[in-house]
Structure 1
Amino acid sequence: MLPTTNPNPDFTLTRASHVVMTVTDLEKSRDFYRDVIGLVVTKETDEAVYLRGLEEAAHHSLVLERSDLAQARRIGLRVRTAADILAAERFFRSANIPFERLERDHQGPTLRFRDPVGTLVELTSEMDVVDRKMQNFDEFRAGAPQRIDHYQVVTYDVQKATDFWTGLGMRMAEYTATDGTDELWGTWLEVKGNTHDLVFTNGRGPRLHHFAYTVPDATSLIHAADVAGALGFGNEIDRGPGRHGLSNALFLYLRDPDQHRIELFNTHYQFIDLETPPIRWDVTDPQRAQLWGLPASNRWFFEASEFSDEKVLDPQLTASPQTLEQYLALH
């Protein structure tokens, strides 16, 4: 069933903000995201590394934390002001949603909660401001990622997740369904005026499938692939280059040393005008996943990063996606 976006939510979300991942070798992971991906290291401690894209003025958009177990610790979203943090507290309290006020280094007022399908989320209203490097072209390396853009979460109940987040003001730009119905298999939700800040897809979850950064152009994707190959990470290219039907993005997916997945992508379109309906894709249409290019592998469809201390549940809908292995067997 298609959701109805709440036009007047209790607090205002503005964008995907930051993601926190635990890694088993902090120095190796730092080197991967700095040298293979091209992110900027803002700060290092013995237990954490803070990184950002070249155009970002916020202190960090990726935090790597040392741990014995590699997991997704939380995804972050920005709210407009500190008053929105207070409003979020009131909303969660009235909705009986457990939450916690936290002190985070380099962040303003911050709340942590889990959504109804177990996604671990952190809201913050501000961060320390640092210098943008978007015109420091001499410092561009690998894919030259500019800014964090979105997350994709695998969930056992796409409808439940979508209803919750559209209730907080997110709009659905695109979705997948089947058999002529609007039974939701995947939803692309946004607040910042392009196709997605938060994506939910059907599968064993909650798990973080990937987090994504924009790059300047298509050439940057190819250069990122070349750099990955030159530095010995060619086998960690998980998918692409290719173009999605959904969102119209050129993409390249890579896996880090702990097998967390990051997407580098370029191009998606505006989704601002309120009268614009979401685009429906049938799950049987292979062009929804790749307008051109080979299908994704088994591991792209079925592997993802588990959230800390969250039980993974089987999906309510059973899917059999066409994988690269199946395609090659038939051809």
Structure 2
Amino acid sequence: MKISGDNLAATLSRGLGPIYLVSGDEPLLVNEAADAIRARARKEGFTERDLHIVERGFDWNALLADSRAMSLFAQRKIVEIRLPTAAPGDQGASAIIELAGQPSPDNVVLIITGKMDGRVQNSKWVSAVEKSGAVIQIWPIDLPRLPAWIRERLGKHGLQADQDAALELSERVEGNLLAAHQEIEKLALLLPPGPVTLQTVLDSVADSARYDVLQLGEAAMRGKTSRALRVLEGLRGEGIDPVLVLWAVNKDLQWIARAQHLMRNGQSADSAMNAIYVWRPRQTAMRDALNRLKPSAVRGLLQDASRVDRAIKGVLRTDPWVEMEGLVARFSGVPLSRSKAA
């Protein structure tokens, strides 16, 4: 069957299927859907979890063999398959069709992937999952629907937000569901159950739409120079310590350098980022940077970051914010000349 994310809880309450496919490009909602399936599976005795991240050279035959393996002492398990794109290839498609067509009573298969286009939705492997289990398509929450989504989420915590409060909160998070989720959780901790008014939001909620150090690195990695420099100027205007700003930018650069090293040794970008524990919400932006920046450019940016550090410490007789501006611009793709100060 094919169901929406909103109907997943009701579907799971009626029983657990043998195979699920969760698809979408909204990380918060995709993760929540997968969590709901795992929770139901654990409740029904599937206590182990085998995670398989599909990348270049992935052995589908080994996965099939493992899923068929029976043991007197084996526990029931969740076989989780993460696809970086909704294209498992011919071998992967055949394996998924087999998993769907010959389900094991000792396994629940959970496949997680990004948004599927019309061609993929009509593919044989997706149809096999739909026939045997469930396909859950997660759609983003657009801005007009965000206030209602916020009110519903607050309601689960016993908080009844009026229309103005929900609208204000949606504007503050700029459509970012992860930020909205964080603010909802914060309100649930701060407030007792009851009404939430516009004044409550104004008094209790930090402005999540303001510029922060993580947005700076994300904009730079995506090559959005104007956005990155606006964020940097906002940080400077808010009086943020340049040490914190440099830490955030340097962390992204270090991650990129380490990922490039692993990629030179044969790993895919996704595998490399997972291996060095890049936060999942940053992986899309970092993938853009890995595609755009050569290793030599990253080494130069790390040298620039060291120069900013010396400026902050007063070793260089130059404005650290000016040095930071040059670093951020070059990180995002604009080759500003370097200061001659020493």
TM-score of Structure 1 vs Structure 2, range by shorter chain: under 0.3
Structure with the larger helix share: 2
TM-score (norm 2): 0.24
Q: RCO higher in 1 or 2 (8 Å CA, sep ≥ 6)?
A: 1
Q: Which structure would you say has the larger Rg?
A: 2
Higher strand share: 1
Q: Normalising to structure 1: TM-score of the pair?
A: 0.24
